[in-house]
Amino acid sequence: MSTAPGIRLENLTIGYGKTAIVSDLNIEFPGGKLSMVVGGSGSGKSTLLKHVLQLQPSIDGKIFFGEHDMDSLSRRENHCIRQRTGVLFQDGALLGSLRLKDNIALPLREHTRLKEEQIMHIVKDRLSMVELGHALELFPNELSGGMRKRAGLARALVMDPQVLLCDEPTSGLDPVMSAELDQLLLEMMRHFDMTMVVVTHDLASMRALADFVVILGEGKCIYQGTIETLEKTQDPYLRRFLDRAPEERHAPRLTMPPLDPAMLKRNCNNFLGEKETVRKGG
Amino acid sequence: MAEKARGTFFPMMLLCTICMETVDELGKMFIFLLDALRLMFAGWGQFSKMVRQIYFIGVQSVSVIALIGLFSGMVMGMQLYFALSTFGADGFLGTAVAMSMVRELAPVLSAIMLTGRAGSAMTAEIGVMRISEQIDALTIMDINPMRYLVAPKMAACLLSFPILTAFFNLISLWGSWLTGVKLLGANEGAYWASVQSSLNWADVEGGFIKSIIFGVLVCTICCFEGYYTHTRSGHAGPEGVSQSTTSAVVKSCVAILAADYILTSLLW
């Protein structure tokens, strides 16, 4: 039985300024489980994450971490919750001026009284977990996209969080690396006994990992529940989303003729023609 | 009739909006400054960050300040020698150079140079951190970005600006001696004696007060512009950072010159 707290949203309306993007959300992300928030581009997934993290003020409604209402927390309680919440940003959000080891050590140096040897021991442990034990001395700009995400995960895990929030962890990664990162997230969730909320539009990840799914679209929550129930749905919007079927268009998409080559400032016809000839000849 | 009324009121409304936005921004900037000053000595961990910033803002600016000080001193020595020798008053060269440098030019020119070298870098650094979610990451890790990023820069500016101004003073007086005395033939003894006799502690102190205030202004404006780079309407991402950097340098230079006028009126 997990002791990790759940996250509850009550009548939450999110957006920027007074412009609402998603209205009236009533969702409970279960504690100790992996929940996924999916939806099309611009559906408000990342905005929801920013509101849950209190980086943006909500327009209306409440957010609860366990039993704690985030709006009525004392300063100390707020610090405690922040220190036990890990976040994996889309591009890792590692501090560019610090080496990898210092990036990972930063929360420990700021919030604990551990000695430097103990801090480095934990840093090495976390980096080995994400298979970056060899990259301690590197700067973030010397890492590949996948390595940056894994380093971001190591930093998110360094304070043994009870809640881990991930913003599109597999975006920009190849399918094999995406699957590896998914597996890593799952292992970490089990190892640290965490509540995990992952924002993604990767349906393969959702099918492989999710215990609980939330789908956002058309400015509201369209679905919340298990993946099994979702797969059986006959709702046309959800079906189209799950089957990756684009909306049927009645009007033709391409209405303009191709650009007349004579309109170009430099005539590239001969150059392209020669290339074509060479290719055909070869 | 309504059209005419709208035509009359539109410029007034525009003026009111601009005034209100300016007051709003100045208020935010003042709160930002108070926050940075409050957090400057929040914990021992700040010390190492301050040392790093002093190295970047202060130590790495020494060569630029030396060059600017040397050339502006040389120009002043030459121009004032020509002007004063017309009246046979070249014995006052030291007085003229020392007064103008220590009271006015050294604090203003060093602050403007530091805006270009360190202030723009501060805006760009903080702006890039803002658009790449690094500041959000600090907030999430419960590390106050103001304490981590801005307060050490403020402390470094408070310390570096007066020291670099003093260095500018020395180099510029030497530069003026080089052209006025060694090149054009003014009397060396008269030059140094007039430098010594014309300057009193109030002049030096005034120059230092100016440089400290310029340091606070430059740091506040440059860090503020970078920190709120994401709120620039229509200029998100890298373009926003470049706009913020330009705006920070322009606003800092205007603020330095405006503050210089006010401080000169108040101090002497």
Q: Mark whether A218 and A177 lie in a shared domain.
A: yes
Q: Mark whether A151 and A178 lie in a shared domain.
A: no
Neighbour-count burial of A276, counting CB atoms closer than 10 A to its CB (0-12 exposed, 13-18 middle, 19+ buried): exposed
A212: left (phi over 0), alpha (psi -120 to 50) or beta: beta
Chain B nearest-CA distance from A103, in A, is 11
Strand partners, A215: A38, A223
Q: How many whole angstroms separate alpha carbon A195 and alpha carbon A198? A: 10
Does any CB of chain B come closer than 8 Å to the CB of residue A107? yes
Does any CB of chain B come closer than 8 Å to the CB of residue A95? yes
Q: Mark whether A208 and A112 lie in a shared domain.
A: no
Q: What is the CATH number of the domain that holds A238?
A: 3.40.50.300
Residues of B in contact with A109 (CB under 8 A): 45
Q: How confident is the model at residue A130 (pLDDT cuts 50, 70, 90)?
A: confident
Asked if the Cβ–Cβ distance from B140 to A107 is below 8 Å, we say no
Strands (E), chain A: 7-16, 19-29, 34-39, 60-65, 68-69, 85-88, 163-167, 195-199, 212-217, 220-225
Strand partners, B247: none
Q: Mark whether A264 and A137 lie in a shared domain.
A: no
- Nearest by CB to residue A87, choosing from B132, B140, B143, is B140
In this structure, is residue A1 part of a structural domain? Answer: no
Per-residue confidence in pLDDT tens, chain B, 268 aa: 556 666 667 888 888 999 999 999 999 999 999 999 999 888 777 888 999 999 999 999 999 999 999 999 999 999 999 999 888 888 889 999 999 999 999 999 999 999 999 999 999 999 999 999 999 999 999 899 999 999 999 999 999 999 999 999 999 999 999 999 999 988 899 999 999 999 888 999 999 999 999 999 999 999 999 999 988 776 678 888 999 999 999 999 999 999 999 999 998 7
Does any CB of chain B come closer than 8 Å to the CB of residue A109? yes
Q: Mark whether A151 and A239 lie in a shared domain.
A: no
Question: What are the residue ranges spanned by the domains of chain B?
Answer: 41-267
Q: Considering only CB atoms, which residues of chain B are within 8 Å of chain A?
A: 45, 125, 128-129, 132-134, 136-143
Residues of B in contact with A111 (CB under 8 A): 142
- The total domain count for chain A is 2
Asked if the Cβ–Cβ distance from B134 to A91 is below 8 Å, we say no
Q: Decide which of A159, A184, A204 is a domain's last residue.
A: A159
Q: Mark whether A142 and A170 lie in a shared domain.
A: no
Q: Decide which of A111, A127, A159 is a domain's last residue.
A: A159
Q: How many whole angstroms separate alpha carbon A148 and alpha carbon A165? A: 16
Q: Mark whether A170 and A153 lie in a shared domain.
A: no
Residues of A in contact with B136 (CB under 8 A): 50, 53, 55, 89, 93
Q: Mark whether A175 and A213 lie in a shared domain.
A: yes
Asked if the Cβ–Cβ distance from A95 to B134 is below 8 Å, we say yes
Q: Decide which of A104, A124, A159 is a domain's last residue.
A: A159
* pLDDT of A144 higher than 60: yes
Chain B nearest-CA distance from A72, in A, is 18
In this structure, is residue A31 part of a structural domain? Answer: yes
Q: Mark whether A239 and A143 lie in a shared domain.
A: no
Q: Among all residues of chain A, which has the CA nearest to that of B128?
A: A96
Full domain range(s) for residue A102: 93-159
A126 C-beta neighbours (distance < 10 Å), count:
23
Q: What is the pLDDT of residues A49-98, one digit of tens each?
A: 999 988 888 899 999 988 888 888 888 888 888 888 999 998 889 999 99
